[in-house]
C-alpha cells in the first residue's frame, strides 16, 4: 500500500469491477491523474474477478451495501481516510419503486458510515454516475418525452426515477461535502460485471452468429439504423469524474458525459461485422422483423461452448448481456444524443472517436480473456 499523508487524496470506488469502475481505478492510479497521487480503495458485492489486476487498488473490499451492518463492518476501517467517494454502482429491478428503494438504501448506508463522525470524516466530494434515463425515463421500452440533444437543465420528468432520488440525497448533505453528477450515454468499456453492457451483448451476439453460420442481423428499426446516437467511453467518463472531483468550478454540478461525437448504428454494425467476421444484415423496415430477445434466450449453450473451446474466463450469457435494454435502445423513435456544451464551458474538453473506442475495448476484452482472441 502507498504511504498516506494528511494531504493524500483517498478514493473509494464503489462498483469497481464494472466498466466505469475499472476505468476509474486505472485512471486514478496513473501518475498523471489530476489531484494525485491517489490512494485507491475499490469495493464490490462479489469477490474480485480473475481479470482484475491487483496493482490497480491499495485495498479491495467486498461488502453488501444493502446491509447496513455489513456496510459498517467493512467500511468502518477506512471511513476516516476516504476523501472522495466515486459511486458507479447500481442494482436494477422490474419497477422503479424497487429501484428507488434499493439504490437509495445502498448509497445512504455508505454515506452514513463515511460521515457518521463529523470530527474525523475526511469526505470532501461524492461523484454520482447516472445516465440518460434522467431525460427519457426509466422504462426504455416506453421512453418518455424527449427533445434531443439532451441538456442538463431540462425539467425532470413527472414520474419516479431513482436517479432523481440519488441526486436529491447528495444535495441533502450540503455543505458537509460537495458532489458532482455524471450522466453517461451508452457506456463502452470492458468488464464481465456490468448490468448494462451493450458492447459485450453485441459481441456475444456476433460470435454466436459466426459459430452458427447465421447472418448478423440488426435487431433494431430502420430509424435507429440511419439516425444519430452517442456513447460514452469508460475511460473518458473516468477522466471527467476525476476532473469534477478536484475542480472547484465543477462542484455541485451535473454534467453529461459522452464522447463528443455521434454515430449511426449502420456504421457501428459495419465495424462489429469487420471485427468478428460476420455478414451484416440491415433492417428491412421501420420495425424489427425478428424477436431478437427471445431468440437469444435459447443461445446460452452456444455461448458455453464458445467459452469452453477458447478457454475463456467463465461467464454465463444471461449474466454478461442485456439483450432487452439493447433492443430498446436500437428501437428508439428519437435520436439519442446529449449536449456536451456545459461540460466544455466548465473546462472539461475530453473527447473520443466512438468507432475507434469500439475497436479498442473489443481488444481489451480479448486481453482480459472474456472474448476469444480472434
| Cα Rg of the chain (Å, integer) | 20
Q: What is the pLDDT of residue 4?
A: 56
pLDDT tens digits for the chain (374 residues)?
Answer: 445 566 899 999 999 999 999 999 999 999 999 999 999 999 999 999 999 999 999 999 999 999 999 999 999 999 999 999 999 999 999 999 999 999 999 999 999 999 998 888 999 999 999 999 999 998 887 776 678 999 999 999 999 999 999 999 999 999 999 999 999 999 999 999 999 999 999 999 999 999 999 999 999 999 999 999 999 999 999 999 999 999 999 999 999 999 999 999 999 999 999 999 999 999 976 665 678 999 999 999 999 999 999 999 999 999 999 999 999 999 999 999 999 999 999 999 999 999 999 999 999 999 999 999 99
Q: Count the alpha carbons within 13 Å of 325 in the hemisphere toward its beta carbon.
A: 20
Predicted model pTM: 0.96
Q: Which residues, including other chains, have CB under 8 Å from residue 322's CB and lie 6 or more apart?
A: 195, 196, 197, 198, 201
Alpha-carbon distance 235 to 257, whole Å? 11
Paired residues of 85 in beta bridges: 12, 126
Stretch (H or E) spanning 172: helix 162-172
- For helices 300-310 and 198-212, what crossing angle results, to 10°? 90
Sorted by sequence, the CB contacts under 8 Å of residue 83 that are 6+ apart come out as 8, 9, 10, 11, 122, 123, 124, 125
Q: Where does 10-187+232-257 sit in CATH, by number?
A: 3.40.50.720
Look at residue 286 in the predicted model and tell me its pLDDT.
60
pLDDT of residue 5: 65
DSSP string spanning 12-59? EEETTTSHHHHHHHHHHTSTT-TT-SPEEEEEESSPPPTTS-GGG-SE
Ranges of each domain in the chain: 10-187+232-257, 192-230+262-336+353-367
Q: What whole-number distance in Å separates Cα of residue 281 and Cα of residue 269? A: 9
**pLDDT at position 139:** 84
Distance, CA of 339 to CA of 86 (rounded, Å): 23
Q: Residue 225, Cα to own-chain centre: how many angstroms?
A: 23
Active site residues: 133, 163
C-alpha span between 181 and 167 (Å, rounded): 7
Interior/surface letters 353-374, b for 16+ CB within 10 angstroms, e for the rest: ebbebbebbbebbbebbbbbee
Task: Name the H helices within 250-353.
Answer: 265-276, 292-296, 300-310, 317-320, 323-329, 341-346
Q: Which helix (H) or strand (E) covers residue 263, if one does?
A: strand 263-264
Give me the torsion for CA of 344, 346, 349, 353, rounded to 10°: -50
pLDDT reported for residue 1: 45
Amino acid at each position: 500500500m502507498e504511504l498516506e499523508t494528511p494531504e493524500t487524496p483517498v478514493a473509494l470506488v464503489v462498483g469497481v469491477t464494472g466498466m466505469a469502475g475499472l476505468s476509474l481505478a486505472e485512471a486514478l492510479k496513473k501518475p498523471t491523474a489530476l489531484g494525485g497521487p491517489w490512494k485507491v480503495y475499490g469495493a464490490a458485492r462479489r469477490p474480485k474477478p480473475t481479470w482484475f489486476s491487483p496493482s490497480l487498488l491499495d485495498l479491495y473490499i467486498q461488502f453488501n451495501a444493502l446491509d447496513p451492518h455489513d456496510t459498517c463492518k467493512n467500511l468502518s476501517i477506512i471511513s476516516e481516510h476516504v476523501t472522495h467517494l466515486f459511486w458507479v454502482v447500481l442494482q436494477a429491478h422490474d419497477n422503479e419503486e424497487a429501484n428507488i428503494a434499493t439504490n437509495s438504501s445502498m448509497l445512504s448506508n455508505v454515506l452514513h458510515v463515511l460521515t457518521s463522525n463529523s470530527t474525523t470524516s475526511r469526505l470532501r466530494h461524492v461523484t454520482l454516475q447516472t445516465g440518460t434515463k434522467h431525460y427519457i425515463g426509466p422504462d426504455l421500452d416506453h421512453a418518455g418525452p424527449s427533445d434531443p440533444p439532451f441538456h442538463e437543465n431540462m425539467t425532470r420528468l413527472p414520474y419516479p426515477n431513482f436517479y432523481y432520488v440519488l441526486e436529491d440525497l447528495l444535495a441533502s448533505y450540503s455543505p458537509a461535502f460537495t458532489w458532482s453528477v455524471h450522466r453517461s450515454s451508452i457506456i463502452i468499456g470492458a468488464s464481465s460485471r456490468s448490468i448494462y453492457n451493450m458492447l459485450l451483448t453485441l459481441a456475444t451476439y456476433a460470435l454466436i452468429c459466426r459459430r452458427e453460420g447465421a447472418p448478423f442481423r440488426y435487431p433494431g428499426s430502420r430509424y435507429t439504423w440511419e439516425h444519430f446516437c452517442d456513447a460514452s467511453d469508460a475511460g473518458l467518463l473516468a477522466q471527467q469524474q476525476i476532473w469534477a472531483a478536484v475542480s472547484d468550478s465543477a462542484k455541485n454540478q451535473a454534467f453529461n458525459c459522452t464522447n463528443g461525437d455521434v454515430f449511426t448504428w449502420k456504421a457501428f454494425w459495419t465495424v462489429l461485422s469487420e471485427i468478428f467476421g460476420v455478414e451484416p444484415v440491415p433492417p428491412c423496415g421501420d420495425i424489427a422483423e425478428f424477436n431478437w430477445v427471445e431468440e437469444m434466450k435459447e443461445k446460452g449453450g452456444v455461448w458455453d461452448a464458445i467459452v469452453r473451446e477458447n478457454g475463456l474466463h467463465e461467464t454465463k450469457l444471461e449474466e454478461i448481456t442485456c439483450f432487452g435494454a439493447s433492443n430498446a435502445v436500437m428501437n428508439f423513435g428519437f435520436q439519442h444524443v446529449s449536449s456536451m456544451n456545459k461540460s466544455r464551458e466548465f473546462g472539461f474538453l475530453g473527447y473520443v472517436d466512438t468507432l475507434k473506442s469500439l475497436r479498442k475495448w473489443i481488444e481489451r476484452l480479448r486481453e482480459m480473456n472474456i472474448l476469444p482472441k480472434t
